[in-house]
């Protein structure tokens, strides 16, 4: 049985990640930061509490971002500001990389690092 936390953090990782279609000046750093985010999410999912599966889980219904957020809030595990800050920072880094702005990309990744922690 897959725990709710694995689903929640997996969905968050999918939301945070986006494929890079070209190799910009910061692509390697973005990929490395995404790997760190994914590793941290997987560790939290493995260590966190589980919840009872809902009726929809047995009906092959995919969870929505709203249902995931609601389940996390019930478990007391949701930090929407932190998740949104990471999502925004990674989006800024990808945009900067796409336009070739290495300085802006590194600045965005540094902001993500501060939110993500060690």
Q: How many domains does the chain have?
A: 1
87-118, pLDDT tens digit by residue? 999 999 999 999 999 999 999 999 999 998 88
Domain enclosing residue 36, as ranges: 4-116
pLDDT of res. 22: 59
4-62, pLDDT tens digit by residue? 454 445 555 555 454 435 578 999 999 999 999 888 877 776 776 666 666 666 666 67
DSSP H helical segments within the chain, as ranges? 4-16, 27-47, 65-75, 80-99, 102-116
Q: Which pTM does this prediction carry?
A: 0.61
CA dihedral over 98, 99, 103, 107, signed as positive or negative: negative
For 1, 81, 87, 101, the CA distances from 71, given in Å and listed in that order, are 17, 16, 20, 38
């Amino acid at each position: 049985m897959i725990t709710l936390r694995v689903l929640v953090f997996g969905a968050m990782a999918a939301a945070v990640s986006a494929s890079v279609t070209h190799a910009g000046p910061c692509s390697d750093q973005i990929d490395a930061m995404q790997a760190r985010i994914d590793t941290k999410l997987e560790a939290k999912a493995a260590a966190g509490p589980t919840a009872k599966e809902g009726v929809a889980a047995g009906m092959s219904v995919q969870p929505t971002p709203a249902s995931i957020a609601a389940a996390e809030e019930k478990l007391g595990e949701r930090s929407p500001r932190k998740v949104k800050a990471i999502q925004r920072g990674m989006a800024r880094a990808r945009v900067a990389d796409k336009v070739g702005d290495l300085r802006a990309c590194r600045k965005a990744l540094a902001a993500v690092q501060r939110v993500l922690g060690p």
